[in-house]
Structure 1
Amino acid sequence: MKNTIAIVDDHILIAQALKGIISKFENFEVIFECENGKELIHKIKALKTVPNIVMLDISMPEMNGFETALWLKESYPEIKIMVLSMQNDEQSVIKMIRNGAKSYLLKNTHPRDLEMALNKLVQDGFFYPDWASKIIYSNMNGTTSSSISKLTEREKEFLKYTITEMSYKEIAELMCCSPRTVESYRDNLFEKLELKTRVGLAVYALKNGFS
């Protein structure tokens, strides 16, 4: 079964071109396109169809990408958000990630790289190209590999699971402990590594070989 995609972009020609490109991908299909966040909300509710992935532009009328991502994060956290935008500034990247985006690509991305990114998004739960990763790293408050020495073995074990799509409850079951204990690992890592989100923990884990 193919992974379903909704394209949200107010440029109709771009949306149609994207649909045509994705139609050639083996594992993906576009189920509908929308011109802004409000239309996306309407279609999800009217069609009672929740896509696996929302491919989201930022600059749109009525309800922009920032607002749409936040709504998706709060209403349908299981949907994977992939930003596809011309905006590559640090503020936009960080804000979209904080609002729930799991991938961030530019509109000049080659089709083969888009397909690879979509596959990585499905497999790993997120994907950021090198240029976006550098922005994320620079916002990790100086966190470096030397901080590994501060971590306990259980915290290191927990870090490996932050890269997966497992919920904290599922991680707790795998680690044979309570969800509250897992939350304490998370909070300790936030403090020790000066991070604030699971995405930050996952990026740190990948950067330091915990995958």
Structure 2
Amino acid sequence: MKNSIVIVDDHVLIANALSSIISNFEQFEVLYVCENGLELQNKFKQDEAIPGIVLLDISMPVMDGFETAKWLKSDYPNVLVMALSMQDDEQSLIKMIKNGAKGYMLKNVHPKELENALLKILKNGQFFPEWATSKVLSTLNDDYTGFSNGIKISDREKEFLKYTVTEMNYKEISEKMFCSPRTVENYRDSLFEKLELKTRVGLAVYAIKNGYDV
């Protein structure tokens, strides 16, 4: 029995091309295609087949990928959401993770890479690009809390963590925290060392996992 996929993308040509590509994957099949999150909601409400994976575009009219992922997380938590986007910035990745996405791929990937990503999200429950780093992924594991090894995080570091999930840059965060940009950098570097992370994405995922996000 093949693993079921639904594609949500407002670009009809891209969606149809994706459907055609996936139809050649031995272990996967596309159930149907939607142009936005609202159409997906309507399909689910009409008792259409619920897929194991939703391939979700981010930039869409009516109901975008962020909102759709959040709805799926709330109402259909067993559906694996794989964001498939042209956006390769950290903020989009962070927001999709916060809203429940378990995977993230760029639309310019080779079909073989897409197939491998789909296999990995089924096997591991998650798949993110290399720039998310293995340390980031470790914070997504259910058994990771950040406190089991006696890590102590100050109140100001916790305050900084909640802002890492936002779209603010470090200068804007410093203004929110009423301190200098250099002080914010010190909080960042301290947390990098304590949590053994290397990127803001890692800090953001840690904040989400541990309830520090805004």
Q: TM-score range by the shorter chain?
A: 0.5 to 0.7
Report what 2:68 is aligned to: 68
Deviation at 1:118, TM superposition (A): 0.2
Report what 2:181 is aligned to: none
Deviation at 1:44, TM superposition (A): 1.1
Equivalent-residue separation in structure 2 for 1:3 and 1:21 (angstroms): 15
Q: Which runs of 5+ in 1 are unaligned?
A: 141-158, 169-181, 200-211
Equivalent-residue separation in structure 2 for 1:55 and 1:10 (angstroms): 12
Native 8 Å contact 1:53 1:82 kept in 2 = yes
Report what 1:101 is aligned to: 101
2:207 pairs, out of 168, 175, 196, with 196
Residue pairs, 1:1-211, within 5 angstroms: 1-133=1-133, 137=136, 163=141, 186=145, 188-189=147-148, 192=151, 193=195, 195-198=206-209
Deviation at 1:133, TM superposition (A): 3.1
Equivalent-residue separation in structure 2 for 1:81 and 1:191 (angstroms): 33
Q: 1:126 to 1:39 in 2, by over 3 A?
A: same
Secondary structure of residue in 2 paired with 1:101: coil
Q: TM-score, normalised by structure 2?
A: 0.67
Equivalent-residue separation in structure 1 for 2:71 and 2:38 (angstroms): 10
Secondary structure of residue in 2 paired with 1:47: coil
Q: 1:190 to 1:22 in 2, by over 3 A?
A: farther
Q: 1:190 to 1:32 in 2, by over 3 A?
A: farther
Deviation at 1:191, TM superposition (A): 8.3
Q: Which runs of 5+ in 2 are unaligned?
A: 152-194, 196-202
Once the two structures are aligned, what percentage of the paired residues are identical? 54
Secondary structure of residue in 2 paired with 1:51: coil
Equivalent-residue separation in structure 2 for 1:63 and 1:16 (angstroms): 20
Q: 1:189 to 1:104 in 2, by over 3 A?
A: farther
Native 8 Å contact 2:31 2:49 kept in 1 = no
Native 8 Å contact 1:104 1:132 kept in 2 = no
Q: 1:93 to 1:45 in 2, by over 3 A?
A: same
Equivalent-residue separation in structure 1 for 2:7 and 2:78 (angstroms): 17
Deviation at 1:48, TM superposition (A): 3.9
Equivalent-residue separation in structure 2 for 1:191 and 1:79 (angstroms): 34
Q: TM-score, normalised by structure 1?
A: 0.67
Deviation at 1:98, TM superposition (A): 0.8
Name the Cα RMSD after superposition.
2.9
